[in-house]
Structure 1
Amino acid sequence: MLIKPYLHHISLNVTDLERSKAFYGGVLGLEPLERPPFDFLGAWYSLGDNQQLHLILYDGETLRSGEINSRDGHFAIRVESFRQAVQWAEEAGIPYDARPNARAGFPQLYILDPDRNIIEINAESLD
């Protein structure tokens, strides 16, 4: 069992980034956040005290038939221990994509639920 999970961010695919930024930042009034220098376009916004919304400009399909693709729509939960999350996935027999030194600045573990929805499990730092 994962220890004290909580929602970290929600990631949504968008087809027109400027239109989406006008809606989330302008219409909804969400506060923009700095975003790491990924090699694809997007925008980050603050949601609540520690939660975030990540918009990803994406033209791929979202009905998954292939492997885990972290750029596809997903939601993330933060846990206290990245290594325990990896151990949990291994013990549960869940296929995963572990990224202990992810470009995002925190370790990430991606899994698929039974319907092939992507779930990111991350930790503040690598333990």
Structure 2
Amino acid sequence: MDIETLHHISLRVSDLARSMRFYAEVIGLEQIERPPFSFPGAWFRLGNRELHLIGDAAANPNRPRAVDAGDTHFAIRVASFTAAIEGLRRLGYREDVAPDDPHCMLLRPNSIVGYPQAYILDPDGHLIEINAARLDD
């Protein structure tokens, strides 16, 4: 197998409209055209890749809803870590709340991996890592 790149990520979501608002308004993704499948969903541009949401009212009924950097997640790279964190703070995300709070943000500006990281949850409890090449001022 000669793999060129990761093409897209698909997530099952319990409330498609709510998740569409989250990925457009919180994460800032642009919605793109989606084929007329027989099931509900939405597609978003994720840099030069795609995020596909699949609407399913029964999605993730028992998914833990706590920010845990060791959980399954996908990561997005941003140009400015500081700008991304400031934007999340303006939307109510905070580091000083319980991990199961919907607006919990786990910050690791000086992470052992060598680049700054932040973690938040989407409305269905999918963990999202936000990182940048370096910690900016």
Runs of 4+ in structure 1 off by over 4 angstroms are none
Secondary structure of the residue aligned to 1:119 is strand
Name the TM-score, length of structure 1 as normaliser: 0.50
- Aligned identity (percent) is 42
In 2: Cα distance, 1:122 partner to 1:70 partner: 12
> Is residue 5 of structure 2 the alignment partner of residue 47 of structure 1?
yes
SS in 2 for 1:98: strand
- Per-residue CA deviations over 1:62-112 (Å, capped at 9, x if unaligned) read 9213x3111111111111111111111110113200100011111001000
Higher relative strand content: 1
The alpha-carbon deviation at position 29 of structure 1 amounts to: 5.3
Q: Residues 1-127 of structure 1: matches in 2 within 5 Å?
A: 28=1, 47=5, 63-65=63-65, 67-94=66-93, 95-127=104-136
What residue ranges of structure 2 are gaps of 5+ in the alignment? 7-47, 49-61, 94-103
How has the CA–CA distance of structure 1 residues 64 and 29 changed in structure 2, closer, same or farther, with 3 Å as cutoff? farther
- In structure 1, give the amino acid aligned to 2:118: L
Q: How many residues align?
A: 72
Q: TM-score, normalised by structure 2?
A: 0.47
In the alignment, the residues of structure 1 paired with residue 79 and residue 122 of structure 2 have an alpha-carbon distance, to the nearest angstrom, of 21
